[in-house]
Every structure is written in C-alpha cells, then in structure tokens.
Amino acid sequence: MNHPTEVYSHTSAFHDINVTDHGFIRVLSFARNRQSSMYLDAPFDTDFEYPSYLHLTLAVTPDAARTLVIGLGGGTVVKRMWRDYPAMRVDAVELDSDVVDVARRFFALPNDERIRVFTEDGRLFLEASADAYDIVIVDAFDDDVVPPALTAEEFLRTVHARLTPGGVVAYNFMGAVEGDGSEPFRRLHAALARQWHQVRVFVVNEGVESGASNLILLATDAPLTTDELRGRIADRVGGRVSVPAFHLFGEDLYDGEIG
C-alpha cells in the first residue's frame, strides 16, 4: 500500500475512528485494526476477502428478501447486498452513531428506503424486534473478538426466533478451526449446533492452524445437503450472485472434524 493520507480522525464513545486513503483504497480503522475498505473508483468493491463469503447466505436461502446485518463498519456488506439484490430490504444495526456517519460520508453508504440503519445495541434491537428475517449476519467486533453478548445462548435463541423457516444466520469470526487456538471457534460452533440443525464453516484465509483466519459460519434449519449447497455455489445461485470467485467458494468449505 502507498503511504496513507488521513481523511478523517475522531474519538467516539466506543472507538478511535480513522479513515485513510492508501492510493486508490480507502480504509476504515478502529485504532490499529482495519475494519472496512473500498476502492475509490469502485465504492461497492473492497480488498477485504470475507465480505464476499457472506453472500453464501444466498446459497442457503436463494429467495431471501429481508436481511439484518449486526455491525455496520463502512457498510461494505449492506451496500453490496442492496445493489446486487434489488428486491432485498436490508436492516443494519450499529452501536456507534459516529460509525454510521462515517459510513455515509466517506464510504458511499446509500440513503435509500431499502436500507434502514438503527443506532442501537444489536442484541437489544433483536430482542425488541417484531420483524422476521431470511438472513441475519453478525459482523461485529470488539477489537478482533465478537462481543460475548452476540454469541450467548440467549442471543442465539432470539436469532432463531426471528429467522423465517429455512433462514440462515452467518457469523464472521476470527480464529482457527484446528490447533490450540481453536477453542473459541469450537465453542461458538457448538452453541450454534444446539440451536440449528446444520452448521457449516468456510475458511476464508489460508492457514487453518493460525489464529488469523476469517471463518464464516452458516447455521440453518434448511434441509440442504452439502452437495446441494456446493452446487448452488458453483452456479452462483442461478447466476444471482456476482461477487468475484463466488463459484469457487465451495472449495473453502471445511470438512474436518470439529471436536
């Protein structure tokens, strides 16, 4: 990356927020941790890999019309789903109002009736909500850890109650599926498996034994075989999903033991 140019810096009630331009890439960071990015000449695209994998939710629920995203960041997931799926309504919940402002001012988050942004605690929002969602995405971090309140059994029961039949919850999780550092992942996997019939894991980054991989966990009650899921991925959910290399993501489905 080129030497960064500072675009915006602010300390909110929750984060040290920094927006910097690195050549043609704009980056949102909380302290030293990169949260989001976008290409200045292509604001719906990012050099982060994991947001594309969250579109795997469509392979579980191809006709999804309502999505909830907990954790906004720069709005990468929200704005791409809004653009790519014109019939979809996307709700986003973000605890920090200053992050919402940054997403709108510096990361091209659209102002449109199909996007509703709520400045609230994600757990409390879902507990109070009467809405049903086809997809729930949890992409929220405290440093590089998902807040414990968003992995607790009580929260998972609430998510299950808010999902439509056959709906799917997706977690973006930093960790490892194998080795000494895999316990946090295995704990979340077990908690999801207690609420849903199927839990599948996609390893975004190389090095499953390192502690730095993005893991995408999908949990659902949809009666979907692994072959059917891979088939939907391979044909891009009937051509509906356009994110780069999506048709290859089936290769990243983890098939090892999770003890």
Question: What is the C-alpha to C-alpha distance for residues 106 and 101, in angstroms, rounded to an integer?
Answer: 8
Structural domain boundaries in the chain: 36-252
Q: Dump pLDDT digits (tens) for 97-142.
A: 999 999 999 999 999 999 999 999 999 999 999 899 999 999 987 7
Q: 1-15, 93-107, 120-134, 169-183 — which is least confidently predicted?
A: 1-15
Give the global pTM: 0.94
For residue 30, what pLDDT is reported?
Answer: 87
Q: What is the CATH number of domain 36-252?
A: 3.40.50.150
Q: Measured over all CA atoms, what is the biggest interatomic distance in the chain, rounded to whole angstroms?
A: 49
189 in Cβ contact with 199 (< 8 Å)? yes
Phi, psi (degrees; rounded to nearest 5) at 191: -65, -40
For residue 181, what pLDDT is reported?
Answer: 83
Q: What count of Cα atoms within 13 Å lies in the side-chain half-sphere of residue 240? A: 19
30 in Cβ contact with 17 (< 8 Å)? yes
Q: Dump pLDDT digits (tens) for 210-253.
A: 455 889 999 999 999 999 999 999 999 999 999 999 999 999 99
Question: What is the C-alpha to C-alpha distance for residues 242 and 251, in angstroms, rounded to an integer?
Answer: 17
Question: What is the C-alpha to C-alpha distance for residues 83 and 202, in angstroms, rounded to an integer?
Answer: 24
Phi, psi (degrees; rounded to nearest 5) at 229: -65, -45
Query: Amino acid letter at 144?
Result: D
Handedness of CA 90, 94, 99, 100 (dihedral sign): positive
Give the pairing type, strands 133-138 and 5-11: unpaired
198-205 CB contacts, 8 Å cutoff, 24+ apart: 198/222, 198/224, 200/226, 200/229, 200/253, 200/254, 201/177, 201/253, 201/254, 201/258, 202/53, 202/56, 202/249, 202/252, 202/253, 202/254, 203/177, 203/252, 203/254, 204/49, 204/50, 204/53, 204/252, 205/49
For residue 259, what pLDDT is reported?
Answer: 62
For residue 190, what pLDDT is reported?
Answer: 95
